[in-house]
């Protein structure tokens, strides 16, 4: 160790942040960086990456510089730190000159522990000279996967960050990301000059998130059922592929009385930031968004993430769903997925720019994603497998809780494929799913008669399956690569090399039976999710729940008065613990996880008053049991 800190990391954790113990590898990472070492940290969203650089910055002399691409969120990040008594500031293009000067002066005078910077600033000679004048404790490179050119969040400015190691070789650097793939990890090490850094890989399991994928039938109705039956009044994110569907979905939800807002890159900047701010600050807002929304959103109490369209890759799906339940309390990752999604994504790949290798890569990503949708295995286990992490079936995903019925789809697949083959061979035609199903069912529709498809030998040989079941068969054959969407842009289907062994009876086709989705069907929160996370608000007794709600009302008022997000005052998990343990004095309150010295000072009296029930007129308006 090149430096023996005056403050011990564990003391800072307990006194400043109010937590009892480090989670997972946090302690080891912090020791390593506080001792002057470089680190690459891969930890899932909600894993607790922030403390890994915040605490080293506090125990080492000087100011820690945090490089973050999320200008819109810097203000909230700094406010959250100030709220626990950490001296923090930020410099970005949203500030006026005077404010920037003031922050620079504070940093130079040694009055800051942490300084957040946008990456593009580091390219400026002025910024570099300013940093030269400071004592620097650590460089933290947040969202480090932004250096990856093939990744989903590439930022060219990140490539310039190699300057950090060159210009300030004695300052330890820590790069952090929630992207788990080995190739991203390699790119981070190479491009940031961190080949010698110690790499810490946390488990990517998020046991509190329950994963569910349903066949898409009436997506909006299915979404409403999810919200009404399980997430009434909760914060959530709904992802859609297009801007148009974002707006239409948000509008429909609002009509149904749900507090929903749209977010996509086509909205004016002012609307986007106002919507983001409402989502962060208020309880129970549902954000309907394209994937333009979400990176760095550290709202801990997002209770559900819903996908109305198929994500492009497992990495993307994992990142997006990972925004649920950062506080460790039960959360839902739900998706509705159908045949049209597969067709649409295949066409997007065919039409995308880029060379054959790039298209092949996109195709592989899609295939892995489809594999996750159609699997008979535990969904979590399959995802962790994909990230190279061995695990057991989880007991908290739909395939574990409600194992799908496997059935032998070989004959059905043969009927369908031979129809496709006959159309092609006998008439040089290609058709989409609808016409194929009509043929198999033996329906004499106008289009069937027009094309004289009733003459085909496969006409009417598939009456044993319903339309929905046939669509499920086609979807699964597409996912398995036994059938393909032709690149003609007309949603038509064609056979592949893999179709022949099926037609010849050499390859069996195991399929899963779709769960029947009934509007109004509810699913109880699972026991295992409850035991793995901290006490969820929903598991409080009626009496504790009542106190929890009063604490939330107090929190909303307090947050509004201070113009900060509610979770900056206290996260739900802390309020639930307070409601359960009912601290009678400051000492007992301090013992609760999430209550540090500064917050005890700022809010202790007010919270105790709410607990004891002496919070003035609220007692009159809220009937208390007993």
Q: Is the dihedral of CA 415, 421, 426, 432 positive or negative?
A: positive
29 vs 378, beta carbon nearer Zn ion: 378
- As measured in angstroms, the least distance from the Cβ of 10 to Zn ion is 35
H or E element in which residue 502 lies: helix 499-503
CB 20 within 8 A of CB 593: yes
- As measured in angstroms, the least distance from the Cβ of 327 to ligand ADP is 6
Residue 336 backbone dihedrals phi, psi, to 5 degrees: -110, 130
Structure tokens at 516: 């029947």
Count interface residues toward ligand ADP (CB under 6 A).
Answer: 18
Q: How far apart are CA 182 and CA 151, in angstroms?
A: 12
397 vs 573, beta carbon nearer Zn ion: 397
17 vs 386, beta carbon nearer ligand ADP: 17
- As measured in angstroms, the least distance from the Cβ of 10 to ligand ADP is 10
152 binds, among ligand ADP, Zn ion, none (CB under 5 to 8 A by kind): none
Interacting span for ligand ADP (CB under 6 A) from 47-55, 182-190, 545-553, 612-620: 47-55
DSSP assignment of 47-100: S-HHHHHHHHHHHSSSEEEEE-S-HHHHHHHHHHHHHTT--EEEE-TTS-HHHH
300 vs 404, beta carbon nearer ligand ADP: 300
436 binds, among Zn ion, ligand ADP, none (CB under 5 to 8 A by kind): none
Longest dimension (CA), the chain: 87
- Please report whether residue 89 would count as binding ligand ADP according to CB under 6 A: no
Which of 5, 46, 119, 207 is in the footprint of ligand ADP by CB under 6 A?
Answer: 46
Question: 291-320: which residues touch ligand ADP (CB under 6 A)?
Answer: 298, 300
29 vs 423, beta carbon nearer ligand ADP: 29
535 vs 609, beta carbon nearer ligand ADP: 535
Interacting span for ligand ADP (CB under 6 A) from 46-54, 411-419, 473-481, 539-547: 46-54
Structure tokens at 614: 């002496």
- As measured in angstroms, the least distance from the Cβ of 583 to Zn ion is 37
* Contact residues for Zn ion, defined by CB under 5 A: 378, 380, 394, 397, 400
- Please report whether residue 571 would count as binding ligand ADP according to CB under 6 A: yes
598 binds, among ligand ADP, Zn ion, none (CB under 5 to 8 A by kind): none
Q: How far apart are CA 427 and CA 268, in angstroms?
A: 51
Query: For the chain, what percentages of helix, strand and coil (3-state, to nearest 5) are there?
Result: 50, 10, 40
Residue 176 backbone dihedrals phi, psi, to 5 degrees: -130, 140
CB 158 within 8 A of CB 129: no
Residue 474 backbone dihedrals phi, psi, to 5 degrees: -60, -45
Residue among 126, 130, 142 at smallest CA distance from 40: 142
323 binds, among ligand ADP, Zn ion, none (CB under 5 to 8 A by kind): none
Q: How far apart are CA 333 and CA 200, in angstroms?
A: 26
Which of 16, 50, 249, 345 is in the footprint of ligand ADP by CB under 6 A?
Answer: 50
- Please report whether residue 590 would count as binding ligand ADP according to CB under 6 A: no
- Contact code string over 248-267 relative to ligand ADP, x by CB under 6 A: --------------------
Applying CB under 6 A, the residues found at the interface with ligand ADP are 19, 22-23, 26, 43, 45-51, 298, 300, 326-327, 571, 593
């Amino acid at each position: 160790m090149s430096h023996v800190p005056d403050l011990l990391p564990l003391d800072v954790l307990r006194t400043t942040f109010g937590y009892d113990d480090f989670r997972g590898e946090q302690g080891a990472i912090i020791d390593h960086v506080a001792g002057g070492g470089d680190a690459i940290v891969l930890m899932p969203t909600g894993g607790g990456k922030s403390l890994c650089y915040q605490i080293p910055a506090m125990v080492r002399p000087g100011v820690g510089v945090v490089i973050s691409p999320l200008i819109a969120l810097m203000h909230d990040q700094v406010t959250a730190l100030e709220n626990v008594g950490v001296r923090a500031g930020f410099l970005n293009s949203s500030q006026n000159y005077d404010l920037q000067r003031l922050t620079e002066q504070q940093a130079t005078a040694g009055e800051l522990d942490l300084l957040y910077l946008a990456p593009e600033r580091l390219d400026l000679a002025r910024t570099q000279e300013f940093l030269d004048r400071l004592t620097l404790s650590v460089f933290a490179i947040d969202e480090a996967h932004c250096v990856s050119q093939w990744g989903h969040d590439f930022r060219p400015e990140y490539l310039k960050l190699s300057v950090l190691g060159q210009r300030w070789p004695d300052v330890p650097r820590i790069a952090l990301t929630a992207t788990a793939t080995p190739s991203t990890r390699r790119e981070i090490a190479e491009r940031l000059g961190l080949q010698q850094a110690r790499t810490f890989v946390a488990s990517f399991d998020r046991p509190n998130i329950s994963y569910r994928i349903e066949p898409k039938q009436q997506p909006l109705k299915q979404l409403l059922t999810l919200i009404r039956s399980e997430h009434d009044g909760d914060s959530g994110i709904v992802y859609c592929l297009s801007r148009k569907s974002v707006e239409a979905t948000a509008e429909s939800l609002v009509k149904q009385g749900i507090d929903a807002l749209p977010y996509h890159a086509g909205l004016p900047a002012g609307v986007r930031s106002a919507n983001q701010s409402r989502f962060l600050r208020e309880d129970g807002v549902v954000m309907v968004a394209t994937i333009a929304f979400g990176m760095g959103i550290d709202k801990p109490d997002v209770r559900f993430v819903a996908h109305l369209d198929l994500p492009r890759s497992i990495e993307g799906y994992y990142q997006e769903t990972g925004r649920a339940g950062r506080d460790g309390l039960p959360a839902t990752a739900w998706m509705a997925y159908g045949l049209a999604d597969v067709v649409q994504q295949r066409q997007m790949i065919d039409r995308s720019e880029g060379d054959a290798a790039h298209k092949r890569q996109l195709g592989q990503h899609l295939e892995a994603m489809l594999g996750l949708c159609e699997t008979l295995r535990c969904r979590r286990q399959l995802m962790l497998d994909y990230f190279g992490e061995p695990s057991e079936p989880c007991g908290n995903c739909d395939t574990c809780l409600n194992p799908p019925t496997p059935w032998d789809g070989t004959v059905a697949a043969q009927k369908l494929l031979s129809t496709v083959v006959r159309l092609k061979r006998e008439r040089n035609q290609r058709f989409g799913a609808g016409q194929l199903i009509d043929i198999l069912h033996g329906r004499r529709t106008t289009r069937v008669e027009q094309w004289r498809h009733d003459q085909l030998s496969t006409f009417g040989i598939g009456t044993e399956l319903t339309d929905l079941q046939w669509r499920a068969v086609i979807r699964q054959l597409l996912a398995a690569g036994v059938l393909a969407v032709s690149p003609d842009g007309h949603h038509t289907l064609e056979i592949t090399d893999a179709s022949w062994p099926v037609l010849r009876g050499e390859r069996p086709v195991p399929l899963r039976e779709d769960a029947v989705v009934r509007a109004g069907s509810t699913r109880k929160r699972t026991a295992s999710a409850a035991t793995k996370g901290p006490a969820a608000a929903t598991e409080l007794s009626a009496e504790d729940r009542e106190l929890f709600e009063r604490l939330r009302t107090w929190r909303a008022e307090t947050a509004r008065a201070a113009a900060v997000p509610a979770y900056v005052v206290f996260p739900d998990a802390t309020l639930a613990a307070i409601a359960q343990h009912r601290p009678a004095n400051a000492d007992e309150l301090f013992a609760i996880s999430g209550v540090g010295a500064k917050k005890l000072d700022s809010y202790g009296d007010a919270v105790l008053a709410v607990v004891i029930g002496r919070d003035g007129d609220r007692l009159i308006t809220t009937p208390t049991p007993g």
